[in-house]
Amino acid sequence: MDLSQNVNAVREKIAAAALAAGRKPEEITLCAATKVQTDETIRAAIAAGIRVCGENRVQELTAHLAAGAYAGSAVHFIGHLQTNKVKQVVGQVDLIHSVDSVRLLHAIDSQADKLGLVQDILLEVNIAQEESKGGISPRDLPDLVRAALDCGHVRLRGLMAIPPISSASGANRKYFSEMRNLFVDIMSEMSDNQSVMDCLSMGMSADFEDAVAEGATLVRVGTALFGSRPPLVSSR
């Protein structure tokens, strides 16, 4: 596996998908999903040009931070976050993608308050309304947006979604398009608010080009950069 070749190949596909959709390639951030990767691989990815690493599990995040493995890169938390683990994440990462309840939101806000900082967050939407998945339902999203805007130590930056593992190519486009509509609706409602809604996080190895075509500003890619992972034991 040649990591820099993979990074370049993914970037080229992002750029091609952006141009085909009339977008600028630089509007899209490539976030490397580094779950199960070693410190060494993370350093190699950063050396190959990765500027955002996305971590899924608090334990791995903490270990890589302690090792200084992310030097030169921003760090995002992209996995399911339990309320009792916010202390290990708030203030340690540049962006938390997975806020999906008022309870979690308030835990993050109060920890950020304690640390005297403002934590950037995304709200995770369960766009395909899958029972097994985290994320707020589209119906309940407006209330969570309002709650986020009421928090003094949280800055709402946008939305995130993990649609179903796509079997057929193009199968998730409708979900990406629905996410884009939710994102635009919220932005227009917030036009007088000082929050910057600039991040729509969607698309993974199997479907990031479709996500870019539908307006993603950040794609989270693991397998296409690092190769396939050993089967995961669920962290939920």
3, 17, 18, 33: which one contacts ligand PLP (CB under 6 A)? Answer: 33
CB of 5 to ligand PLP, least distance (A): 16
The CA distance from 213 to 21, in Å, is 5
Number of residues forming the site for ligand PLP (CB under 6 A) = 14
Question: At 159, which helix (H) or strand (E)?
Answer: strand 154-161
Q: What is the distance in angstroms between the CA of the first residue and the CA of the last residue of the chain?
A: 30
Decide whether 132 or 188 has the Cβ nearer to ligand PLP. Answer: 132
221 binds ligand PLP (CB under 6 A): yes
52 binds ligand PLP (CB under 6 A): no
| DSSP summary character for residue 25 | G
Cβ distance 181 to 164 under 8 Å? no
Decide whether 99 or 162 has the Cβ nearer to ligand PLP. Answer: 162
DSSP for 56-107? --HHHHHHHHHTTTTTTSEEEE-S---GGGGGGTTTTSSEEEEE-SHHHHHH
For residue 204, give Cα distances in angstroms to 16, 84, 107. 16, 28, 28
The CA distance from 103 to 83, in Å, is 7
CB of 150 to ligand PLP, least distance (A): 27
99, 136, 154, 204: which one contacts ligand PLP (CB under 6 A)? Answer: 204
Which residues in 67-86 contact ligand PLP (CB under 6 A)?
78-79
Residue nearest to ligand PLP (CB): 222
56 binds ligand PLP (CB under 6 A): yes
Per-residue x/- mask for ligand PLP, residues 147 to 166, rule CB under 6 A?
A: ---------------x----
For residue 109, give Cα distances in angstroms to 1, 2, 29, 102, 210. 41, 41, 26, 10, 33
Name the one range near ligand PLP by CB under 6 A: 4-12, 68-76, 176-184, 222-230: 222-230
- Site residues (CB under 6 A) for ligand PLP? 33, 35, 56, 78-79, 162, 204-206, 220-224
